[in-house]
């Protein structure tokens, strides 16, 4: 059985490997030794090798991503000579942050007119219509994200009010799961739609729609989400609603697709 060892694979880059039963302290020492003369030490761990992934992590290497298209998918771990030491808070937090789950967030704005219609967007990349909004960028506030998205896609500078709904979206159609946050966009004169300047790459059209049109034009889970958000507005008292695929958990124990 081969010992834990590292080899130089590129200029100032080392790659390390170890036997299945290796002690993490041994790997940690070898990583430190490799970084004496290298700027980077990396390990390629098969996706099914959970023990190897744990050793890579607790030896101080950060998870960087998945290498696809090889015999078996491999997860790439690496430590740089410039990384903050693990015994410092910033170094340990960076290590944890490299492998802890990250949830995609989507922010949307519920904009209504005085006839109780809802502003919907017809998108270029899918058939069904949706609320204005989009994906929250890394490090961005969801509240700021929805205002940015509406400005970019519709050319409208609309205030985002309070959070109306947190809707969990299960994995669907090749997408990972996500949290959709619906903010109150307030009530506006219907003429606000005439001021829309579409981002043509993503928006085909936008218009105020009745609830019946919402059901006709939107995917089922989007229509349920809009109805849940409207229901929150109609309910007395301050209350933020949580749903899964537009269904309140009191109504169902599992989220429909």
Write down the CATH superfamily of domain 104-248.
Nucleoside Triphosphate Pyrophosphohydrolase (3.90.79.10)
Average pLDDT over residues 14-41: 95
Give the Cα separation of 112 and 229 in Å (integer): 12
CA angle, residues 17, 21, 22, in degrees to nearest 5: 50
Among 75-79, 82-86, 165-169, 234-238, where is mean pLDDT lowest? 234-238
Strand partners, 105: 179
CA neighbor of 95 nearest in space, from 53, 55, 49, 61: 61
Q: Which helix (H) or strand (E) holds 247?
A: strand 247-248
pLDDT at 257: 52
Q: Given this chain, do its domains 5-99 and 104-248 carry the same CATH topology?
A: no
pLDDT at 102: 86
Could you say which of 3.40.630.30, 3.20.20.70, 3.30.360.10, 3.90.1150.10 is the CATH number of the domain covering 5-99?
Answer: 3.40.630.30
pLDDT at position 250: 61
Predicted TM-score (pTM) of the model is 0.81
Pairing label, strands 74-80, 13-17: unpaired
Domain residue ranges in the chain: 5-99, 104-248
Confidence label for 239 from pLDDT (cuts 50, 70 and 90) = low
d(CA 44, CA 16) in angstroms, rounded, equals: 8
Does 252 score more than 70 pLDDT? Answer: no
Mean pLDDT of the chain: 92
**pLDDT tens, residue by residue, 181-218:** 999 999 999 999 999 999 999 999 999 999 999 999 99
Residue 1 pLDDT greater than 50, yes or no? no
pLDDT class of 256 with cuts at 50, 70, 90: low
Lowest mean pLDDT among 63-72, 164-173, 208-217, 242-251: 242-251
């Amino acid at each position: 059985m081969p010992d834990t060892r590292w080899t130089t694979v590129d200029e100032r880059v080392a790659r390390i490997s170890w036997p299945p039963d290796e002690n993490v302290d041994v790997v940690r020492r070898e990583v430190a030794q490799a970084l004496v003369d290298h700027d980077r030490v990396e390990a390629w761990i098969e996706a099914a090798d959970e023990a190897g992934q744990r050793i890579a992590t607790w030896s101080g290497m950060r998870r960087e991503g998945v290498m696809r298209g090889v015999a078996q998918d491999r997860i790439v771990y690496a430590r740089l000579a410039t990384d903050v030491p693990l015994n410092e808070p910033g170094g340990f937090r960076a290590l944890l942050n490299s492998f802890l789950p990250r949830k995609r967030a989507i922010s949307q704005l519920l904009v209504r007119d005085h006839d109780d219609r809802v502003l919907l967007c017809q998108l270029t990349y899918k058939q069904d219509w949706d609320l204005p909004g989009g994906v929250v960028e890394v490090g961005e506030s969801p509240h700021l994200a929805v205002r940015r998205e509406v400005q970019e896609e519709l050319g409208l500078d609309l205030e985002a009010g309070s959070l109306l709904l947190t809707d969990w979206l299960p994995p669907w159609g090749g997408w990972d799961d996500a949290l959709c946050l619906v903010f109150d966009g307030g009530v506006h004169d219907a003429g606000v739609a005439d001021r829309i300047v579409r981002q043509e790459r993503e928006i085909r059209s936008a218009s105020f729609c009745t609830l019946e049109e919402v059901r006709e034009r939107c995917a089922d889970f989007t229509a349920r989400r809009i109805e849940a958000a409207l229901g929150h507005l109609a309910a007395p008292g301050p209350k933020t609603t949580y749903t899964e695929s537009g269904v309140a958990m009191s109504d169902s124990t599992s989220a429909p697709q």
